[in-house]
Amino acid sequence: MRVGLTGGIGSGKSEVARRLTALGALVIDYDQLAHEVVAAGTPGLAAVVHAFGPTVLGPDGALDRAALAATVFADDGRRQTLNEIVHPLVRERAAALAAAAPADAVVVHDIPLLVENGLAPAFDAVVVVLSGTEVRVRRLVEQRGMSEPAARARMAAQASDADRLTAATHVLMNDGPLADLDSAVDALWADLRQYVAGR
Ligand code: ADP
């Protein structure tokens, strides 16, 4: 079963991914894959350097993420070029990981920009984690050390909850204690297992 998991920054998506892993899901972390495909020595990194020049490399030959971010920031064309290099490599890695899973596995694709990139139709179920704006800002400031303006800017650059809800087959509300989120994920897991058993 192919499950998409998404949620705005600070919503609790990573907590849900952790819990689903503990319950037995195979979680594929697209952020992690996006790092792996441009790791030192990869063809992906060579393509990035070819596109943007050696200034995006640090002295150790690894990608200088801050330099790359500065290069593509506020330039749609450059950002698109970067996406055209990274996205196919990530998709290829994710497909290989999913193909290696057993037939009855619940494979969860953890994708921050699932809705923004129009990927919902590719999944049997789309799980959206939702939290109120102020709760998310507080988490990002208190637990991730972001400044409040930076947290609000990141949130404003992402899809709205209304757009995420349109894509969702399952919604997890995460405004309460973590124990409540765990219970909601347990119920979700039971539902996903039932789907797999009924196929
Ligand atoms: P996301 O992956 O959606 O950006 P995280 O799952 O990393 O968000 O959550 C952001 C921060 O808030 C983390 O430090 C996480 O442990 C914390 N957090 C998430 N949900 C809750 C909750 N219900 N109660 C308290 N802290 C939470």
pLDDT, one tens digit per residue, over 157-179 is 899 999 999 999 999 999 999 99
In this prediction, residue 188 has a pLDDT band, given cuts at 50, 70 and 90, of: very high
Q: 185 pLDDT band (50/70/90 cuts)?
A: very high
Across 121-135, average pLDDT: 97
Q: Which atom of ligand 1 is nearest to the CA of 8?
A: 3
Contacts of 136 (CB under 8 A, 6+ apart): 8, 9, 10, 11, 151, 155
Q: What is the pLDDT of residues 73-107, one digit of tens each?
A: 889 999 999 999 999 999 999 999 999 999 999 99
Query: Does residue 10's CB lie within 6 angstroms of at least one atom of ligand 1?
Result: yes
Q: What is the pTM assigned to this prediction?
A: 0.94
Give Dmax (Cα) for the chain. 54
pLDDT beyond 90 at 144 = yes
pLDDT at 199: 80
Q: Whose CA is nearest to atom 20 of ligand 1?
A: 12
Give the residue from 117, 164, 161 showing the smallest Cα distance to 135.
161
Question: Which pLDDT score is estimated for 74?
Answer: 80
Q: 6 phi and psi, to 5 degrees?
A: -150, 175
Task: Tell me what pLDDT residue 73 has.
Answer: 82
Q: Is 15 in the pocket of ligand 1 (CB under 6 A)?
A: yes
**Cβ atoms of residues 12 and 134 within 8 Å:** no
- The Å distance, Cα 136 to ligand 1 centre, comes to 8
Question: Which residue among 20, 139, 154, 183 has the greatest number of ligand 1 atoms within 8 angstroms of its CB, and so is best to mutate?
Answer: 139
Ligand 1 atom 22, closest CA: 178
Torsion, Cα 20 163 121 2, to 10 degrees, reads 0
Mean pLDDT, range 3-11, rounded to an integer: 97
Query: Would you tell me the crossing angle of helices 43-52 and 76-99 to the nearest 10 degrees?
Result: 170
pLDDT average, residue stretch 24-43: 97
Distance 74 CA to ligand 1 centre (A): 28
User: Residue 130: pLDDT band by 50, 70, 90 thresholds?
Assistant: very high
Question: What average pLDDT does the structure give for the chain?
Answer: 96
Beta strand 170-173 with 125-130 is parallel
Paired tokens of 60: 């150790």
